[in-house]
C-alpha cells in the first residue's frame, strides 16, 4: 500500500461521499480532492439537460473529468482524500461513447494501478439519501443502482482491493473509516474526545468525628454489681 495513504471514496451519486470525505479531511488534516466533475461542468457552462442529449458535449465532459482527476491526484505527493476516483467512467459508460477510447488509453492502467495502492471505500446506495419528490425519487434510485453496479464492475475488473461501506449510520461509517485509516498509519489531528458531560468530582468525604467512648468491658461492670460489693 502507498504510504502515506491515499484515500478514495467511490460510488454512485447521493451515497454520502462528500460528507465522509470532509470528515476524513478534518479529522486527519489531510488535503481533500474535491469532486472534479462539478468544476468541469461549471467551466463548460453547460446545462445538465443538454448533457443528456448532446453526445459530443457528454464525451467532451467525461474526457475532461477523467483527465482532471488524474492531474489533480498527481499534484499531491502525500496523503489525500479524494471525493471520487474513476467514478465518472461509470457515467461515461452509461451516457457517452468514449469508453472504448478510454480503455485503450495507456494512462488508464497507470491510474488504476495507483488507485489499487490506495485505501478505497466503496459507498453503497441507500434510498434514504435520495431527495424524496415522488416519481423522480423512483427514477433517481434506478439510476443510482445502475451507476453503483458499474462502479463495482470497474473495481472488480481492475482488481482494486476495496472496502464496501454498507451501513448508512454516520457513527458506523466513521468507525469503519477511522479504524482502517488509523491502521494505515494516519493519526487524528483533532482532539479525540471532547468532554460532553459536566466534570464529575468525588463528593467531599465527612471529616471523621471523634469516636464515642467504648462501653466498659463486661467484666468491669460485673465487678461493680451491687451484690458483689
Ligand X SMILES: Nc1ncnc2c1ncn2[C@@H]1O[C@H](COP(=O)(O)OP(=O)(O)OP(=O)(O)O)[C@@H](O)[C@H]1O
Q: Cα dist. 183→96, 115, 119, 162, 187 in Å?
A: 39, 18, 11, 15, 9
Nine cell digits for residue 53? 442529449
Cα-based angle 84, 87, 93 (whole degrees, multiple of 5): 165
> Which residue number, 17 or 183, has a Cβ lying nearer to Mg ion?
17
Residue 151 Cβ vs ligand X, minimum distance, rounded to whole Å: 11
The residue (of 98 and 177) whose beta carbon lies closer to ligand X is: 177
Q: What is the footprint of ligand X within residues 109-148 (CB under 6 A)? A: 129
Q: Whole-angstrom Cα distance, residue 68 to residue 43?
A: 12
71 lies in the binding site for ligand X (CB under 6 A): no
Among 5, 6, 16, 40, binds ligand X (CB under 6 A): 16
Please tell me what DSSP assigns to residue 129. G
72 binds ligand X (CB under 6 A): no
Q: Determine how β-strand 162-165 pairs with β-strand 80-83.
A: unpaired
Output the CA torsion 147→148→151→155 (10° steps). -160
Nearer to Mg ion, 18 or 174 (CB): 18
Contact of 131 with 101, CB cutoff 8 Å: no
Residues of this chain, 24-43, that bind ligand X according to CB under 6 A: 35
Residue nearer to Mg ion on the CB measure, 18 or 117: 18
Which lies closer to Mg ion via its Cβ, residue 18 or residue 114?
Answer: 18
CA dist 116 and 111 (Å) reads 9
Could you tell me how many residues of this chain bind ligand X (CB under 6 A)? 12
Check binding of 189 to ligand X (CB under 6 A): no
In this chain, which of 41, 168, 180, 184 binds ligand X, going by CB under 6 A?
168
The minimum distance between CB 62 and ligand X, in angstroms, equals 15
Contacting residues toward ligand X, per CB under 6 A: 13-19, 35, 129, 168, 170, 173
Amino acid at each position: 500500500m502507498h504510504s502515506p495513504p491515499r484515500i478514495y471514496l467511490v460510488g454512485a451519486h447521493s451515497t454520502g461521499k462528500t460528507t465522509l470525505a470532509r470528515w476524513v479531511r478534518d479529522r486527519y488534516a489531510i488535503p481533500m480532492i474535491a469532486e472534479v466533475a462539478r468544476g468541469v461542468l461549471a467551466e463548460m457552462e453547460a446545462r445538465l439537460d443538454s448533457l443528456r442529449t448532446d453526445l459530443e458535449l457528454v464525451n467532451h465532459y467525461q474526457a475532461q473529468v477523467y483527465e482532471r482527476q488524474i492531474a489533480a491526484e498527481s499534484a499531491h505527493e502525500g496523503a489525500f482524500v479524494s471525493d471520487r476516483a474513476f467514478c465518472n467512467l461509470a457515467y461515461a459508460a452509461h451516457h457517452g461513447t468514449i469508453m472504448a477510447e478510454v480503455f485503450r488509453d495507456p494512462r488508464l492502467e497507470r491510474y488504476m494501478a495507483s488507485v489499487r495502492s490506495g485505501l478505497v471505500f466503496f459507498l453503497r446506495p441507500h434510498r434514504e439519501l435520495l431527495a424524496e419528490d415522488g416519481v423522480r425519487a423512483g427514477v433517481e434510485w434506478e439510476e443510482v443502482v445502475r451507476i453503483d453496479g458499474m462502479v463495482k464492475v470497474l473495481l472488480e475488473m481492475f482488481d482494486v482491493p476495496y472496502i464496501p461501506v454498507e451501513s448508512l449510520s454516520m457513527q458506523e461509517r466513521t468507525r469503519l473509516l477511522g479504524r482502517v485509516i488509523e491502521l494505515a498509519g494516519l493519526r487524528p489531528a483533532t482532539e479525540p474526545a471532547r468532554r460532553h458531560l459536566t466534570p464529575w468530582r468525588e463528593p467531599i468525604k465527612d471529616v471523621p468525628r471523634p469516636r464515642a467512648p467504648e462501653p466498659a468491658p463486661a467484666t468491669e461492670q460485673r465487678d461493680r454489681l451491687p451484690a458483689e460489693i
